[in-house]
Structure 1
C-alpha cells in the first residue's frame, strides 16, 4: 500500500508541476500585446482645383492638299520627269505617255485652221464686194469654227497624255516605270503638300452642344513625345446613322515630323472650366468591387484608416478627379495602401522621403 501511495504522490507532484508551468506560460502570453504595429504610409490632402473640360478622341492625319495621281487615258510611258520623294511646283510635268498620234493630229488640225481662217477672210472680203452669196460666207465661218474646235480637241487629248502636278508638294513612291503600258485609272503616285496638315476624327453625337469652330486641340502621335497644337476647323452637319458619331476636322498649326496617314490622339479643350476635388492618382485602389481610398481618421489612441468607395473621373498630370466619396481637406493614404485594412493604425508621413506621390 505504501508503494501505491508514493506512486500517487509522485504523479501528483509531476502533474502539478506541469499545470503550474502551463498556467504561468499562458498567463504571460495573455498579458502580452499582440496588436500590429502602426503602418507607415504617405498621406495626401484632398484639394479643390480648377480643371478644363476636355474631350478625348482619335483620328487620322491627312494633307489639306493631297491626291493620288492616275492616268486619264491609256498608253505607253515614254518619259518620267521626276524622282520618288522629289519636291515639285504647281504645273510641273511629271509623266508623259506616247503621244505620236496626237502630235500628228495636232499638226493636221493647225494646218486646217490656217486654211479655214484664210478662206473665211477671203470670203469676208468678197462679201463686201457682193461677189459671193451670204451662204458661202456662213459656210466659211462654220468651217473656221470647226477647225478651232478640232484643234482644241486635239490639244485636250495631248493634255491627257501628260501628268502634271496640280499643286506644289512632295511626290511619293512612283509605282510605274518607263516603257510600262498603263490603262485609264492606273495609279501612278501620290502628291502631298506637307506644309498644311489636318486631322479627321469623330466623337459621340451627344457632345455636339459643346463643340464649335475654333476650339483649341492638343495632338499627340506615336512618332514623337511632343504635343502639337491644332484648331477645330469644321463640325459636320449630320450624324452618321450607323455609328451615331459626329465627324469633325481639325487644322494642325505645325507639321514638322508628321505625315499623312499617321494615327493621332486628340484632346479638345471645351473651354468650360470646372471645379473638381483631386487626389494623387496613387491614392486610389482599383478593384472589381469599386474604386477605394483609405481615409485617415483620428481617435484617442492616434491615427487609423478606414476604406471608402469613391467615384473617380479623369486623370491629369498625376492627379485624379474624385466626384464622390471624398471632401476637400480629407486626408487620404496615398502610398502604402497594400498594407492597410479597416481600422489599421498608421503613422502618417505628409512629406516622407521614402515615398513619392
Structure 2
C-alpha cells in the first residue's frame, strides 16, 4: 500500500515538472518573436531613412549618385501596331488532271507499238494497233452487200415513182440498205477500237504490252500524263477548315529541284476525310511546269491568321511565372526610368514574334535586352 502511494506521488511530481518546462519554452519563444518584430520595424525605419538621405545627397553631390547607382542597363523598343501573319506548312504533291491509263477496248493480239516510255505524243497520234483482220473482212463484206442493196433500192425507188411494183418491195429494199449502213458503221467503230490513240498532248509514262501479246477489253496497256493541267494538292488538318479560301496566297518550295514560287489556292474541299480528319486543298502551278512530275513532293506555306494592326513583341521578351505571362516595360517616375512588370495575354507566335492581345498598348516601351536582370520597380538605364 505504501509503495503504491509513493509511485503515484512520483508520477504527479513528473507531470508538474513537464508542465512548468513547457510554460518556460513558450515564454522564451514569445520573447524571441517580439525581439524579431522590433528588429524588423527598426530595419524598415532605417531603410526609409537611408532612402531619404540618399535622395538628399543626390541633389547635393551628383558623383555620389553615380557611385551608388544600382540601375540595370537595358535596351528597349517603342511598340507600334504592325501587320502580323501566322503561317503553317503542309506537305503537298504534284498532280495532273490528265494522268491516265489507256486500256484495250477490243480483244486481239498486239500488232504494232509506236511509242516507248518518255516519248512526247500529240493528240490523236496512233500509239498501239491491235490485230483487227476479222473486223476488216467483215467491213469488206458489208460494203459489198451495201453496194448491192443501194442498187436494188435505187431501182425499186424509180419503179415506185413510176407507179410500177408494190410499196412493200420499195420498203423492203430501203430497209435492207439502211440495215447494212448501220452494220457497216458498227463494224467501223469496232475497227477504231483496235487503234489506240492519244487523247491529248502528253508524255508516255509506261507501256505494259508487247508485240504479239493477246489483250482483252479493259486491260491497261499504256499510261500517259500531260503537263498542261498540273496542280498541287495537300491534305490539311480539319483544324484549319475555315482558315483558307480560293485566291489565298501560297508559297511553294520544291525540294527535288530546289526551287520556290508564289501562287494561290485554286480550290478548297469542305468534305472531311474520316480516315485522317483532313480536307483537300488545291494550288495552282504557274512555274517550272516542264520540270514537274506527278507525285513529286512539295512544301506549301499558307497564312492561316492575319492581323493588320497587331501589337507585336519579340517572343524572347515574354516571360512566365506561377501566375502567367508578363513583360517588362519602361515607365518614367520622379525623373527616373523604372522597369514595370506587366501582365499580358498572348496570341499567336510565328517567326520569333508574338502577338499581344491584352496588357500593353501602342506607344509602350518594352525592354528587349536586359529584361532577365530587371525586377519590378528597379531603375533602368538605356544603352546607347
1:43 Cα offset (Å): 6.3
Q: What's 1:260 paired with?
A: 294
CA pair 41-171 structure 1, distance change in 2 beyond 3 A: farther
TM-score, normalised relative to structure 1 = 0.67
1:84 Cα offset (Å): 0.9
Work out the CA distance in 2 between the residues paired with 1:347 and 1:186: 81
Matched, 1:89 2:115: no
**Structure with more of its chain in helix, by fraction:** 2
Work out the CA distance in 1 between the residues paired with 2:136 and 2:227: 36
Out of 313, 334, 340, the position equivalent to 2:348 is 313
Q: What's 1:13 paired with?
A: none
SS in 1 for 2:208: coil
Q: What's 2:183 paired with?
A: 150
Q: Is the 8 A contact 1:219 1:229 kept in 2?
A: yes
Q: Which runs of 5+ in 1 are unaligned?
A: 1-36, 352-357
Work out the CA distance in 2 between the residues paired with 1:190 and 1:348: 73
CA pair 106-43 structure 1, distance change in 2 beyond 3 A: farther
Q: What's 1:113 paired with?
A: 146
Work out the CA distance in 2 between the residues paired with 1:174 and 1:290: 68
Work out the CA distance in 2 between the residues paired with 1:190 and 1:137: 52
Q: What's 2:309 paired with?
A: 275
1:163 Cα offset (Å): 1.3
Q: Which has the larger radius of gyration?
A: 2
Q: Is the 8 A contact 2:90 2:236 kept in 1?
A: yes
Matched, 1:223 2:246: no
Q: Deviations over 1:241-281 (max 9, x none)?
A: 73776554433223433222234443456897522233345
1:217 Cα offset (Å): 3.2
RMSD of Structure 2 on Structure 1 (CA): 4.3
SS in 2 for 1:131: coil
Q: Is the 8 A contact 1:305 1:346 kept in 2?
A: no
Out of 55, 58, 78, the position equivalent to 2:111 is 78
Q: Is the 8 A contact 2:74 2:367 kept in 1?
A: no
SS in 1 for 2:259: coil
Comparing 267-276 with 144-153, greater Cα deviation is found at 267-276
Work out the CA distance in 1 between the residues paired with 2:323 and 2:229: 46
Comparing 110-119 with 193-202, greater Cα deviation is found at 193-202
Q: What's 1:27 paired with?
A: none
Q: What's 2:271 paired with?
A: 239
Matched, 1:100 2:110: no
